[in-house]
Amino acid sequence: MDTMTLDQISQRIAELRAEHRSLDERIARLAANPDDELEAKRLKRRKLQLKDCIGKLEAMLIPDEPA
């Protein structure tokens, strides 16, 4: 992933954020149905993974400070 350009990183962040929002909506719909608790947990776990990945990619956009 170190070979990604800044534009590619920004594009990937946008894609992950879109998926994150989509999961938000799906989780909200599942909250109304207690029978889908396992699916909701799975989606929440995926949402957290996306958040972590977004954070890592955003950190790649921050230039290193000289020592």
Q: Residues 27-56: pLDDT tens digits?
A: 999 888 878 889 999 999 999 999 999 999
Spatial distance between the Cα atoms of 67 and 43, rounded to a whole number of angstroms: 41
pLDDT of residue 11: 97
pTM comes to 0.82
Where do runs of H (alpha helix) occur along the chain? 6-31, 37-61
Using an 8 Å Cβ cutoff, are 20 and 50 in contact?
yes
Q: Is the pLDDT of residue 63 over 90?
A: no
Question: Is residue 10 predicted with pLDDT exceeding 80?
Answer: yes
Please report, rounded to a whole number, the percentage of residues in the chain having pLDDT higher than 70. Answer: 96
